[in-house]
Amino acid sequence: MPTEPESMKLLASALAIGVGAIGPGIGIGLLAGKAMEAIGRNPDASGQIQTNMILALAFCEAIGIYALVVALILKFV
């Protein structure tokens, strides 16, 4: 059985990645949905929409990676 401080570190780590992944997950879902809607309305602009969507997806993923780094720091430090 883990000790009290050890169990709190594990709980904090789990909460950090769990809560930290919610925002990027919702953001990516909304972003992809709106991009598909925009491409459906104007297929000629799909190149520009796709480029901007990929850039925004990278920023959303970066936030998720920050949450992962914080969770790993909480777990191992």
Q: What is the pLDDT along the chain (77 residues), one digit of tens a residue?
A: 667 888 999 999 999 999 999 999 999 999 999 999 999 999 999 999 999 999 999 999 999 999 999 999 999 98
Domain count, the chain: 1
Q: Check residue 42 and give its pLDDT.
A: 95
The residue whose two tokens read 């992944």 is: 21
Q: Check residue 11 and give its pLDDT.
A: 92
Q: Check residue 52 and give its pLDDT.
A: 95
Q: Check residue 1 and give its pLDDT.
A: 60
Q: Kind and range of the H or E element at 44?
A: none
Q: What is the CATH number of the domain that holds 54?
A: 1.20.20.10
Q: Check residue 5 and give its pLDDT.
A: 87
Distance between CA atoms of residues 74 and 35, nearest Å: 36
Q: Check residue 77 and give its pLDDT.
A: 86
Q: How far is residue 43 from each of residues 8, 36, 57, 59, 69, measured CA to CA in Å?
A: 51, 10, 20, 25, 39
- For residue 7, is it within any domain? no
Q: Check residue 2 and give its pLDDT.
A: 66
Domain that holds residue 33: 24-76
Are 46 and 39 in contact by the 8 Å Cβ rule? The answer is yes
